[in-house]
Amino acid sequence: MKTVNLTINGIDVTVPSDYTVLLAAREAGIDIPTLCYLKDVNEIAACRLCVVEADIKGRPLRNLPASCVLKVEEGMNVRTNTPRVREAVKTNLELILANHNRECLTCNRNGTCELQKLCDEIGVDDIPYVGERREPVIDKVSQAIIRDASKCILCGRCVATCKQVQGIGILDFTKRGFETEIAPAFDFSMDDAPCVYCGQCINACPVAALRERTHIDEVWEAIDDPEKYVVVQTAPAVRASLGEEFGLPVGTRVTGKMVAALRRIGFNNVFDTDFTADLTIMEEGTELLGRVKNGGKLPMITSCSPGWIRYCELFYPEFVENLSSCKSPQQMFGALAKSYYAEKMGINPKNMVVVSIMPCISKKQEADRPEMEVSGIRDVDFSLTTRELGDMIKQARIDFKRLPDENFDKVLGEYTGAGVIFGATGGVMEAAIRTVADILTGEDLEDIEYHAVRGIEGVKEAALTLPIEGVDTEIKVAVVHGTANAAKVLEAVKAGEKDYHFIEIMACPGGCVHGGGQSHVSAKERIDVDPRVNRANALYEEDVIMVNRKSHKNPEVIKLYETFLKEPNSHLSHKLLHTHYEP
C-alpha cells in the first residue's frame, strides 16, 4: 500500500496515503477532539472541534482545516496544540453549550456523555454566550425510544447511522437556522415515522438526545412487592457488554458476576434466555425440515430479532410468510416460565413477573405486542437494556467488580454453547446447523464450528449437503445483519438471483452483541475497538468451555419435551411458543 510521510507536532509519521490527519494523529498517539466524527459512518466536519494548523512543505493551508476530512500528504506538517487551535476548539465547544439543555446532573448520559467529557478535558469553565435556548422537545410516544431535541447538538451521527448503516433514513435535519432539529419528517413521532427501534441511533448519539424508555422503576416495584414472584432472564449478548458499565474493557465476559448481581438485586430466580435459544433451535429446526420436506414457503427466515420483524412488516410485507412462526427466545421464555415453571413450583402465573435483560431496545416493543401472551397472561412484563441493568446494579450499591462468579438457577437457567452464540451474527444459523446436521445424519458430529457464518461481513453464505429422506440435498443458507444488508438480500431473493433455504436476519450490525441497548462505546474508543468483534469473541469463548455445545443436548430441554411439550412443533408448543405475523 502506498504510504506518505508527515510530521504531527514534530513527530515523524508514516501512514497509508488514504488516511486522514485525524487517523494519522491517532497512530502517533496524539488525540484530536471530535464530536460529530464516527469512524466510517459520519465524517462531515460539522462540529469543527478537530481543527488543526497545517502546512505542506512550508505552504500553509488556509483557515483551520478539520482533520477528520483532511487527507494526509507527503511533507505535511500538522500542529494540533497551538494557541489558535486551542482557542478555536474552546470557542466552538462554548457555542455548542450555549444552546444545550445543560441538566447534566439529572441526565441519562451523565458520566458517558461525550460532550461533558470534552468540556472537562478542554477546560471549559464558563459559557460566555447567552441567548435563547431550545426548550425540551420530547417525543416519548414510543415504548422503546425517546427523543429530546433540547439535548441534540446536531452532529448528525444518528442521521448517518440510520440512513447509511441501516438504510432506513427515519432521522434527518429539519427546519432551518436556530430552529434546526434532527427529527423524523413531517413532525412524526418515532412510532409513526416508522422507526424499527434498532436503537443504532442511540448508540451513535454522543449525548442524551436519543435514549431508551426506561422501565427500571416498574421492576423495582415488582421486586419490592411481597405478592410477586419475579424471575429474570438474560439474553446471550448481555454478558459480553455489562462489564463495560463498570469500566471493564469492551467485550469482557462477565456471566458469573452478572448472575451474582441479579441475585443480590433480589430476583427470585436468575435464568437465562439461552435456555429458550436452545429451545428455539428445536422448534425452528423442525419447522425448517417440515418446510423443506413438504414444499412449504422458502426461504424460511428467522424471527427472533424484533427490529428485523418490524422492518419486514413495514418495508417487505411480501416476506412475512417466510418468517418462522417461532416466537423469539425472549417471548418463549416468558410463556414457559408462566406455564411449565410456574406449574412445577406451584406459583400462580398471575403473581409471576417476568423481566428480561436484553441488549436491545426493540425487545421492549416486542414484549408489548398484543399477540405476545397466552390465555390473557403476558409472556414478558418488562424488558430492560444492558445499560438499565448497569443502572440498577449501581442503584443497589453493588460493587460489581468484586462479585464472585455464580451460576444460573436450575431448569430455565440450563444452556449450551449453541444458545450462547445466538448473540453474535451467524450464531443462530450455526446453532441450527449443529442440531439439524446431527438429526439428519443420525450422528453426533464432532466438527461443529461453522466459520463461514461467523464474522462481520454484511452478508455471509454457506451450502451444506445433508441427507433428507435418504436423498443428499444441498441446503443453502445466508446470514445477514443490519437492515441495509437485509434489503440487499431480500431484493436478490425477489429477483430470483438467490434461492436460499434458510436466512438468519438480525436488525443490528454485528447481531445482538451490538444491539441498541448495549453499553455505550464512545466514538473515540471506536477508532481502535470494534465492539461487534470483541463482544462476539466473548460469546465464542463461552461456547468453547461449555460441556454441551448443541441445543438438542441441553438436558433440561430434553426433559421439557419428555414431560411437558411432548415433541417439537406439538400442539402445546404451538400454543405457547409460536405466533403468526400479518402481512
CA atoms within 13 A on the CB side of 565: 25
Do the bridges between strand 181-184 and strand 171-174 make them parallel or antiparallel, or are there none, so unpaired? antiparallel
Which one from 287, 388, 414, 542 is the annotated catalytic residue?
Answer: 287
304 is catalytic: yes
Of 184, 417, 511, 568, the one binding ligand HC0 by CB under 6 A: 511
By CB under 6 A, which span of 181-189, 272-280, 433-441, 541-549 interacts with ligand HC0?
Answer: 272-280
Nearer to ligand SF4 (CB atom), residue 358 or residue 477: 358
By CB under 6 A, which span of 38-46, 134-142, 162-170, 319-327 interacts with ligand SF4?
Answer: 162-170
Site string for ligand HC0, 330-349 (x = CB under 6 A): x-------------------
Nearer to ligand HC0 (CB atom), residue 42 or residue 385: 385
Which one from 366, 388, 414, 504 is the annotated catalytic residue?
Answer: 366
Give the whole-angstrom CA distance, residue 384 versus residue 136: 25
Single-letter residue type at 504? E
User: By the 8 A CB rule, do 251 and 373 touch?
Assistant: no
Q: Which residue has the cell 437492515?
A: 483
Q: Listing from the earlier edge strand, what are the strands of the sheet with 138-139?
A: 138-139, 145-148, 210-212
Which of ligand SF4, ligand HC0, none is residue 166 near (CB under 5 to 8 Å by kind)?
ligand SF4
Of 54, 201, 240, 456, the one binding ligand SF4 by CB under 6 A: 201
Does residue 236 interact with ligand HC0 by CB under 6 A? yes
Give the whole-angstrom CA distance, residue 449 versus residue 456: 16
**Based on the number of CB atoms within 10 Å of its own CB, is 442 exposed (0-12), middle (13-18) or buried (19 or more)?**
exposed
366 is catalytic: yes
Closest to 51 (Cα-Cα) out of 6, 85, 95, 91 = 85
Q: At what angle do helices 273-294 and 329-336 cross, to 10 degrees?
A: 110
Site for ligand SF4 in 337-396 (CB under 6 A): none
Of 19, 37, 197, 229, the one binding ligand SF4 by CB under 6 A: 197
Which of ligand HC0, ligand SF4, none is residue 512 near (CB under 5 to 8 Å by kind)?
ligand HC0
- The DSSP code sequence of 201-223 is HHHH-SSSSEEEPP-HHHHHHHH
Which of ligand HC0, ligand SF4, none is residue 162 near (CB under 5 to 8 Å by kind)?
ligand SF4
Give the whole-angstrom CA distance, residue 126 versus residue 440: 70
284 is catalytic: yes
Which of ligand SF4, ligand HC0, none is residue 203 near (CB under 5 to 8 Å by kind)?
none
Site for ligand HC0 in 398-457 (CB under 6 A): 422-423, 428
Of 49, 89, 512, 538, the one binding ligand HC0 by CB under 6 A: 512
The torsion angle over the Cα atoms of residues 40, 42, 44 and 47, rounded to 10 degrees, is -130
Does residue 538 interact with ligand SF4 by CB under 6 A? no
Other C-beta atoms within 10 Å of 496: how many? 7
Residue spans of beta strands (DSSP E) within 283-368: 300-301, 352-358
Residue spans of beta strands (DSSP E) within 108-223: 138-139, 145-148, 171-174, 181-184, 210-212
By CB under 6 A, which span of 68-76, 195-203, 435-443, 533-541 interacts with ligand SF4?
Answer: 195-203
Does residue 305 interact with ligand SF4 by CB under 6 A? no
Q: Give me the residues that bind ligand HC0 (CB under 6 A), please.
A: 235-237, 273, 277, 280, 304-305, 328-330, 358-360, 363, 422-423, 428, 506, 511-512, 515
Give the interface with ligand SF4 as residue ranges (CB under 6 A): 145, 161-162, 166, 168, 170-171, 195-201
Residue positions annotated with a catalytic role: 284, 287, 304, 324, 363, 366, 371, 512
